[in-house]
Amino acid sequence: MSEPKVWLITGTSTGLGRALAEAVVASGDRVVATARDVDSVKDLADKAAGQVHAARLDVTDSASIAAAVESAISAYGQIDVLVNNAGHGLIGAAEELSDEQTRSVLETNVFGVLAVTRAVLPHMRERRRGHIVQMSSVGGVVANPGHAIYNTSKFALEGMSEALAGEVAPLGIRVSIIEPGPFRTDFLGRSMAFAEPIADYQDTAAGIVRQNFARNDGNQPNDPVKAAAAIVRLVNTPDGPLRLPLGPEAVGRIREKLTKQLADLQEWEAVSLDTRF
């Protein structure tokens, strides 16, 4: 029987992070459950004594990150799987976004992920093994008008993670990018911020996204428990793919985009190739 893995998961207070922590415990592995408010994850540790270690982690605070990683190593001696799950959204057309709102999303969804990853990598490099799971989104592949800065953050995460995968593969470390569609979490509620609207965008695609997201909060069609099970399965599959879309909406929208992108590439290939001196 293989030794239980140790997972460090950011943002486990609610949503996919919480569902994943519970799935990992059910699989027999151990979890370092982290959140900005450590009290919000202590119930996980209480319900699974010995399998869950609760730690405070704010991905925008370097001291907090270092302390959480040190706490994980002290508790279990290793980190086998890092899941960068913490993040939030921001609804608004690009023109509607304030600098402060824009930077807040990027600090959490991009710079925070990079900071946590860099803090854990020395430990994984030393052991020549590990797995980094990046929680992206269908919005990391297909952009929605009205969700521009969130898409910016997830597109950046995808590029960073794809490059990272090539950098660490020779060191025995895997990278996986998860691309969920709409799952029934509080992402559209507590985890979503809204820009101050401009009237001209009210009836455009950007305005419609604002209305749709508010209407769909709590009514998303996909089950976080099934997403968590899929992620656990991927981590336990040695030859799993770099990217894993989750949910019919994600698969459909990504396939539609890639099909159109390939068709455009073929249609304009002669123009694209005619660039030599």
pLDDT of 189 reads 55
pLDDT of 192 reads 66
Respond yes or no: is residue 150 known to be catalytic. yes
Sign of CA dihedral 246, 214, 41, 44: negative
The band of 70, judged by pLDDT with boundaries at 50, 70 and 90, is very high
For residue 83, how many other CB atoms are within 10 A of its CB? 28
- CA-to-CA dists, residue 99 to 81, 95, 114, 191, angstroms: 34, 10, 21, 19
pLDDT of 32 reads 98
H-helix segments, 50-92: 62-76
CATH architecture, range 6-249? 3-Layer(aba) Sandwich (3.40)
Summarize the confidence of residues 131-139 as an average pLDDT: 97
pTM score, whole prediction: 0.94
pLDDT of 188 reads 54
- Which value, in Å, is the radius of gyration of the alpha carbons in the chain? 19
Mean pLDDT of the chain: 92
Which of these is catalytic: 5, 64, 76, 154?
154
Q: Model confidence over 259-268: pLDDT tens digits?
A: 999 999 999 9
Q: Model confidence over 180-195: pLDDT tens digits?
A: 998 776 655 565 678 8
Domain boundaries, the chain: 6-249
Respond yes or no: is residue 136 known to be catalytic. yes
pLDDT of 191 reads 58
Which of these is catalytic: 5, 150, 153, 161?
150
- Asked whether residue 150 carries a pLDDT value surpassing 60, the answer given is yes
Q: Model confidence over 20-37: pLDDT tens digits?
A: 999 999 999 999 999 999
Whole-number percent of the chain with pLDDT over 90: 78
Q: Model confidence over 195-234: pLDDT tens digits?
A: 888 989 888 877 777 777 666 666 777 799 999 999 999 9
Which of these is catalytic: 13, 71, 136, 161?
136
pLDDT of 242 reads 98
For residue 153, how many other CB atoms are within 10 A of its CB? 28
List the helix and strand counts (H, then E) for the chain.
Answer: 10, 9
- Asked whether residue 69 carries a pLDDT value surpassing 60, the answer given is yes
Whole-number percent of the chain with pLDDT over 70: 94
pLDDT of 218 reads 64
The band of 79, judged by pLDDT with boundaries at 50, 70 and 90, is very high
Respond yes or no: is residue 201 known to be catalytic. no
DSSP secondary structure of 86-131:
---EEEB-GGG--HHHHHHHHIIIIIIHHHHHHHHHHHHHHHT-EE
Summarize the confidence of residues 172-178 as an average pLDDT: 98
pLDDT of 208 reads 77
pLDDT of 195 reads 84
